[in-house]
Amino acid sequence: MDFMKSMAIAASGLRTQSGRMRIISENLANADSTSGAPNTDPYRRKVPTFTSEFNRELDARVVGLGKVDVDKSEFRSKFEPGHPAADENGNVKFPNVNSLVEMTDMREAQRSYEANINVISATRRMLQRTIDILKA
Protein backbone atom coordinates (compact mmCIF):
# COMPACT_ATOMS: atom_id res chain seq x y z
CA MET A 1 0.00 0.00 0.00
CA ASP A 2 2.86 2.43 0.70
CA PHE A 3 4.07 2.06 -2.89
CA MET A 4 0.69 3.15 -4.20
CA LYS A 5 0.58 6.00 -1.71
CA SER A 6 3.95 7.35 -2.84
CA MET A 7 2.90 7.10 -6.50
CA ALA A 8 -0.36 8.93 -5.82
CA ILE A 9 1.43 11.70 -3.92
CA ALA A 10 3.95 12.08 -6.76
CA ALA A 11 1.09 12.13 -9.28
CA SER A 12 -0.53 15.01 -7.39
CA GLY A 13 2.80 16.82 -7.65
CA LEU A 14 2.86 16.18 -11.41
CA ARG A 15 -0.63 17.63 -11.84
CA THR A 16 0.24 20.66 -9.74
CA GLN A 17 3.49 21.44 -11.55
CA SER A 18 1.76 20.95 -14.88
CA GLY A 19 -0.84 23.55 -13.88
CA ARG A 20 1.92 25.86 -12.70
CA MET A 21 3.71 25.55 -16.06
CA ARG A 22 0.45 26.30 -17.88
CA ILE A 23 0.06 29.56 -15.92
CA ILE A 24 3.70 30.53 -16.50
CA SER A 25 3.27 29.83 -20.23
CA GLU A 26 0.25 32.14 -20.31
CA ASN A 27 2.30 34.86 -18.62
CA LEU A 28 5.11 34.46 -21.15
CA ALA A 29 2.69 34.48 -24.07
CA ASN A 30 1.25 37.79 -22.89
CA ALA A 31 4.54 39.43 -21.85
CA ASP A 32 4.53 41.93 -24.72
CA SER A 33 0.80 42.35 -25.30
CA THR A 34 -0.86 45.70 -24.81
CA SER A 35 -4.37 46.81 -24.10
CA GLY A 36 -6.64 47.48 -27.02
CA ALA A 37 -7.36 51.12 -26.18
CA PRO A 38 -5.64 54.04 -24.45
CA ASN A 39 -5.97 54.36 -20.66
CA THR A 40 -6.93 50.71 -20.18
CA ASP A 41 -4.89 48.10 -18.37
CA PRO A 42 -3.02 45.36 -20.24
CA TYR A 43 -2.65 41.74 -19.15
CA ARG A 44 -1.76 41.24 -15.47
CA ARG A 45 0.72 38.56 -14.47
CA LYS A 46 -0.89 35.53 -12.83
CA VAL A 47 0.69 33.86 -9.80
CA PRO A 48 -0.17 30.23 -8.93
CA THR A 49 -0.62 29.19 -5.32
CA PHE A 50 -0.43 25.73 -3.84
CA THR A 51 -2.57 23.86 -1.35
CA SER A 52 -1.92 20.89 0.86
CA GLU A 53 -4.97 18.66 1.08
CA PHE A 54 -5.64 15.56 3.10
CA ASN A 55 -6.72 12.65 0.90
CA ARG A 56 -8.81 10.24 2.96
CA GLU A 57 -8.48 7.40 0.44
CA LEU A 58 -4.70 7.52 0.66
CA ASP A 59 -4.58 8.59 4.30
CA ALA A 60 -1.93 11.11 3.24
CA ARG A 61 -1.47 14.76 2.37
CA VAL A 62 -1.25 15.66 -1.32
CA VAL A 63 -0.39 18.90 -3.05
CA GLY A 64 -2.80 20.76 -5.29
CA LEU A 65 -3.00 23.91 -7.34
CA GLY A 66 -4.76 26.58 -5.33
CA LYS A 67 -6.26 29.90 -6.29
CA VAL A 68 -4.56 31.79 -9.08
CA ASP A 69 -3.79 35.32 -7.88
CA VAL A 70 -2.89 38.34 -9.97
CA ASP A 71 0.30 40.30 -9.43
CA LYS A 72 -0.58 43.82 -8.26
CA SER A 73 2.79 45.35 -9.20
CA GLU A 74 3.02 48.32 -11.54
CA PHE A 75 2.81 47.95 -15.29
CA ARG A 76 5.81 48.68 -17.49
CA SER A 77 5.48 51.83 -19.55
CA LYS A 78 7.16 52.75 -22.84
CA PHE A 79 7.07 55.91 -24.88
CA GLU A 80 5.52 54.96 -28.23
CA PRO A 81 3.37 57.87 -29.45
CA GLY A 82 2.25 56.12 -32.66
CA HIS A 83 0.89 53.04 -30.87
CA PRO A 84 -2.92 52.60 -30.85
CA ALA A 85 -2.90 52.06 -27.07
CA ALA A 86 -0.81 55.17 -26.32
CA ASP A 87 -2.23 57.65 -23.86
CA GLU A 88 -2.27 61.44 -24.39
CA ASN A 89 1.44 61.61 -23.42
CA GLY A 90 2.43 58.86 -25.87
CA ASN A 91 3.06 56.24 -23.17
CA VAL A 92 1.90 52.65 -23.63
CA LYS A 93 1.29 50.33 -20.69
CA PHE A 94 2.79 46.85 -21.00
CA PRO A 95 2.10 43.84 -18.76
CA ASN A 96 3.90 43.48 -15.44
CA VAL A 97 5.51 40.25 -16.68
CA ASN A 98 9.27 39.86 -16.35
CA SER A 99 10.34 37.15 -18.80
CA LEU A 100 13.47 36.34 -16.82
CA VAL A 101 11.44 35.70 -13.65
CA GLU A 102 8.96 33.58 -15.61
CA MET A 103 11.71 31.50 -17.20
CA THR A 104 13.28 30.94 -13.77
CA ASP A 105 9.89 29.85 -12.39
CA MET A 106 9.40 27.58 -15.40
CA ARG A 107 12.76 25.92 -14.82
CA GLU A 108 11.92 25.37 -11.15
CA ALA A 109 8.54 23.87 -12.08
CA GLN A 110 10.23 21.64 -14.65
CA ARG A 111 12.71 20.36 -12.07
CA SER A 112 9.91 19.66 -9.59
CA TYR A 113 8.01 17.82 -12.33
CA GLU A 114 11.09 15.72 -13.11
CA ALA A 115 11.59 14.94 -9.42
CA ASN A 116 8.04 13.59 -9.22
CA ILE A 117 8.62 11.49 -12.33
CA ASN A 118 11.76 10.09 -10.67
CA VAL A 119 9.73 9.16 -7.58
CA ILE A 120 7.21 7.30 -9.73
CA SER A 121 9.98 5.56 -11.67
CA ALA A 122 11.82 4.51 -8.51
CA THR A 123 8.59 3.22 -6.95
CA ARG A 124 7.83 1.28 -10.11
CA ARG A 125 11.29 -0.31 -10.04
CA MET A 126 10.84 -1.25 -6.37
CA LEU A 127 7.47 -2.83 -7.15
CA GLN A 128 9.00 -4.79 -10.00
CA ARG A 129 11.86 -6.00 -7.81
CA THR A 130 9.38 -7.05 -5.12
CA ILE A 131 7.42 -9.04 -7.69
CA ASP A 132 10.62 -10.64 -8.96
CA ILE A 133 11.61 -11.64 -5.42
CA LEU A 134 8.17 -13.13 -4.76
CA LYS A 135 8.36 -15.15 -7.99
CA ALA A 136 11.70 -16.69 -7.04
Q: What's residue 136's pLDDT?
A: 82
Q: What is the pTM of this model?
A: 0.87
Contact in structure between 106 and 21 (CB atoms under 8 Å):
yes
Q: What's residue 1's pLDDT?
A: 54
pLDDT tens digits along 43-77 = 999 999 999 999 998 889 999 999 999 999 999 99
pLDDT tens digits along 2-48 = 888 999 999 999 999 999 999 999 999 999 999 888 888 999 999 99
pLDDT tens digits along 86-98 = 989 999 999 999 9
3-state secondary structure 84-109: CCCCCCCEEEECCCCHHHHHHHHHHH
Residues 6+ apart with CB under 8 A from 4: 58
Rg (CA), the chain: 22
- Choose among 126, 128, 4: nearest CA to 62: 4
Task: Tell me how many degrees the CA angle 110-115-117 measures, rounded to the nearest 5.
Answer: 95
Contact in structure between 42 and 34 (CB atoms under 8 Å):
yes
